[in-house]
């Protein structure tokens, strides 16, 4: 072999054949690979720098637009939220002026969206977890309350059935919602002279023309029409027997006659603002054995437990009545 190489060994004083060890081969291979890798990386970078594929171009443009408009939209949304907060304040001010009482605070705190949680940092995340925890214990508490209120066993005797049916247990207007009960039974503020007086019924705000319904079967014992801009205005009284009488006042129109028998849920007339009233509403009273009682305690049929709680707390606010 012409190319065989030797080197001089000073110890043996002889020329010795250079052995090609595995180590040498590996070194050579690694150096090829290393430089090859450098070339590879360089080429990739070069390629990225020079070549732009259509899909990359599209993505790049889209990302740019997404980023740009995200900033714009976020600031627009921020402005809108500022305006919304301003409007909320006005809304609360209006409420306070209208009802002479504090507006209900926003009962449910704002919970973050699932997607927001994904983006949130750990501190935000912990906070959210805490909120969820609170919400959970709230739910537990409310469940316990409900079961206390409604869990008690009820036993009804056969003889009690007519008594039960004569109890005015439903809402006296069509499309009743708990939010419509704007003033309850008890000491309230008179809208005209702003003094306190005893409000003998509940005020249910409803648009003019909303049907007023009998809350239990009975007989109409009084139909009174009055042009006077004070007092009950046009009103109806229904006797349900067993000591229950209901009174529906400030009506716009009355659609029944005195002495007429009415069924539960039958229309008696429509909501108005006759008599001493500042707004279209039904002033509804329940008289049991000659005494006015709190009608909220009777409006129980067709209302969920949670809604009823809202109704009850609404009715306890010492606000302004609609008279």
Partner 1 sequence: MAKVRYRYNSETCKYEPVIISPRIAGRRLLIFMSISFIMGLCGLLYFNYNFPLIDETLQASRNQKLKTEWTVLYKQLERTSRQLSTLEHNDDKNYRVILDLEPLDQSQREAGVGGHEKESSSIPYPLIRTAYEQADKIKNRLDIEAQSLEQLSNELTRKEKMWASRPAIQPVSNKDLKHLHTIFGLRMHPLLGYVRPHNGLDFTAPQGSPVYATGDGRVDFAQFSTSYGNVVYINHGYHFETRYAHLTNFIVGAGQTVKRGQIIGYVGNTGLSVSAHLHYEVLYKNSPINPINFFQRDLNNKEYEKLIEVGSMATSSLD
Near partner 1 in 114-173, by CB under 8 A: 115-116, 118-119
Q: How far is the CB of 141 from partner 1 (least distance, A)?
A: 25
Among 12, 21, 55, 105, binds partner 1 (CB under 8 A): 55
Is residue 71 a contact point for partner 1 (CB under 8 A)?
no
Cα–chain center distance at 123: 25
CB closer to partner 1, 66 vs 139: 66
Beta bridge partners, 198, equal 187
CB closer to partner 1, 106 vs 157: 106
Q: How far is the CB of 153 from partner 1 (least distance, A)?
A: 38
Is residue 50 a contact point for partner 1 (CB under 8 A)?
no
Query: How far, in Å, CA of 10 to CA of 104, rounded?
Result: 103
Q: How far is the CB of 156 from partner 1 (least distance, A)?
A: 33
Q: How far is the CB of 289 from partner 1 (least distance, A)?
A: 14
Q: DSSP for 244-310?
A: EEEEEEEEEEE---TT-EE-TT-EEEEEB--SS-SSSEEEEEEEETTEEE-GGGTTTTT--HHHHHH
Are 298 and 166 in contact by the 8 Å Cβ rule? The answer is no
CB closer to partner 1, 21 vs 148: 21
Cβ neighbours of residue 254 under 8 Å, at least 6 residues apart? 223, 225, 234, 236, 268, 269
Q: How far is the CB of 103 from partner 1 (least distance, A)?
A: 10
CB closer to partner 1, 55 vs 123: 55
Binding-residue total with partner 1 (CB under 8 A): 89
Q: How far is the CB of 232 from partner 1 (least distance, A)?
A: 7
Query: How far, in Å, CA of 224 to CA of 226, rounded?
Result: 7
Among 20, 25, 27, 39, binds partner 1 (CB under 8 A): 39
- Binding positions for partner 1, 230-269, rule CB under 8 A: 230-232
Are 280 and 150 in contact by the 8 Å Cβ rule? The answer is no
Among 25, 65, 129, 140, binds partner 1 (CB under 8 A): 65
Instruction: Please give the helix or strand (H or E) that residue 213 lies within, else none.
Output: strand 211-213
Q: How many other C-beta atoms are found inside a 10 Å radius of the C-beta of residue 64?
A: 10
Among 26, 27, 30, 73, binds partner 1 (CB under 8 A): 73
Are 203 and 250 in contact by the 8 Å Cβ rule? The answer is no
Task: Choose the binding region for partner 1 from 77-85, 122-130, 165-173, 306-314 (rule: CB under 8 A).
Answer: 77-85
Is residue 97 a contact point for partner 1 (CB under 8 A)?
yes
CB closer to partner 1, 6 vs 150: 6
CB closer to partner 1, 45 vs 161: 45
Give the tokens for residue 36.
């090859």
Torsion of CA 289, 160, 312, 107, to 10 degrees: 180
Are 295 and 185 in contact by the 8 Å Cβ rule? The answer is yes
Among 24, 27, 80, 162, binds partner 1 (CB under 8 A): 80
Among 206, 234, 315, 321, binds partner 1 (CB under 8 A): 206
Is residue 47 a contact point for partner 1 (CB under 8 A)?
yes
Among 217, 218, 276, 295, binds partner 1 (CB under 8 A): 276
Instruction: Please give the helix or strand (H or E) that residue 47 lies within, else none.
Output: helix 22-50
């Amino acid at each position: 072999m012409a190319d065989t190489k030797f080197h001089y060994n000073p110890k043996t004083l002889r020329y010795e054949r250079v052995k090609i060890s595995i180590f040498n081969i590996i070194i050579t291979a690694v150096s090829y690979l290393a430089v090859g890798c450098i070339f590879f990386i360089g080429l990739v970078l070069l390629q990225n720098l020079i070549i732009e594929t259509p899909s990359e171009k599209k993505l790049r443009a889209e990302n740019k637009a997404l980023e740009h408009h995200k900033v714009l939209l976020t600031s627009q949304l921020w402005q809108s939220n500022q305006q919304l907060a301003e409007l909320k304040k006005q809304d609360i001010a209006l409420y306070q002026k209208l009802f002479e009482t504090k507006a209900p605070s926003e009962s449910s705190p704002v919970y973050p969206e699932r997607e927001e949680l994904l983006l949130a940092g750990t501190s935000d995340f912990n906070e959210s977890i805490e909120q969820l925890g609170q919400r959970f214990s709230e739910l537990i508490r409310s469940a316990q309350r409900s079961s206390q209120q409604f869990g008690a066993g009820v036993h009804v005797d056969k003889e009690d059935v007519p008594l039960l049916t004569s109890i005015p247990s439903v809402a006296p207007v069509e499309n009743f919602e708990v939010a419509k009960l704007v003033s309850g039974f008890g000491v309230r503020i008179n809208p005209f002279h702003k003094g306190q007086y005893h409000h003998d019924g509940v005020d249910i705000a409803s648009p003019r023309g909303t049907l007023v319904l009998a809350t239990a079967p009975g007989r109409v014992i009084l139909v009174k029409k009055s042009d006077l801009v004070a007092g009950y205005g046009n009103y109806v009284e229904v006797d349900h027997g067993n000591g229950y009488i209901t009174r529906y006042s400030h009506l716009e129109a009355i659609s029944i006659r005195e002495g007429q028998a009415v069924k539960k849920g039958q229309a008696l007339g429509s909501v108005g603002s006759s008599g001493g009233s500042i707004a279209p509403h039904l002033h509804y009273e329940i008289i049991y054995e000659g005494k006015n009682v709190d009608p909220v305690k009777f409006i129980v049929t067709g209302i969920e437990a949670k809604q009823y709680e809202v109704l009850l707390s609404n009715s306890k606010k010492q606000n302004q009545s609609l008279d």
